[in-house]
Amino acid sequence: MLAVAERTHVCPICGTTGLPAMSRYPAYVCHGCAARARSADGRPLRFTNQGAWGGFLAAYADTDEPYPGGGRCWIDGIACIADEARFGGIVVQVSAGADGSSPPIQ
Ligand SMILES: [Zn+2]
């Protein structure tokens, strides 16, 4: 069921090449960039699955408080959106909204 992905994806944040291409996530960022996700006020965020069955949880990485912004985050000042990946885990993509005010949810 899993097709072997071609390693043609380029991280839109840092430009890392050779990442597996995923047609469902054409603008996903690499793990290194996803780890630098910040809230609007610059606090580090952590996105995790709710449990083995999936689900999406967003929290401040520094205090473990729930993050009210959902998947909205910023990496190097670029608006991004994090969500539960279809194949499990978390995927972070550059948001379509360039100004970062209202990235599309879903
Ligand atoms: Zn990157």
Tens of pLDDT, residues 15-61: 999 999 999 999 999 999 999 999 999 999 999 998 888 899 999 99
For residues 19 and 58, what is the distance between their CA atoms, to the nearest angstrom? Answer: 25
Report if pTM > 0.85.
no
**pLDDT tens by residue, 92-102:** 999 975 444 44
Distance 33 CA to ligand 1 centre (A): 4
Distances (CA, A) of 17 to 21, 29, 44, 68: 10, 11, 25, 33
Cα-to-centroid distance, 15 and ligand 1 (Å): 6
Spell out the domain ranges in the chain.
Answer: 1-106
User: How far is the centre of ligand 1, averaged over its atoms, from the C-alpha of 2 (Å)?
Assistant: 24
In angstroms, the CA 18 to CA 39 distance is 28
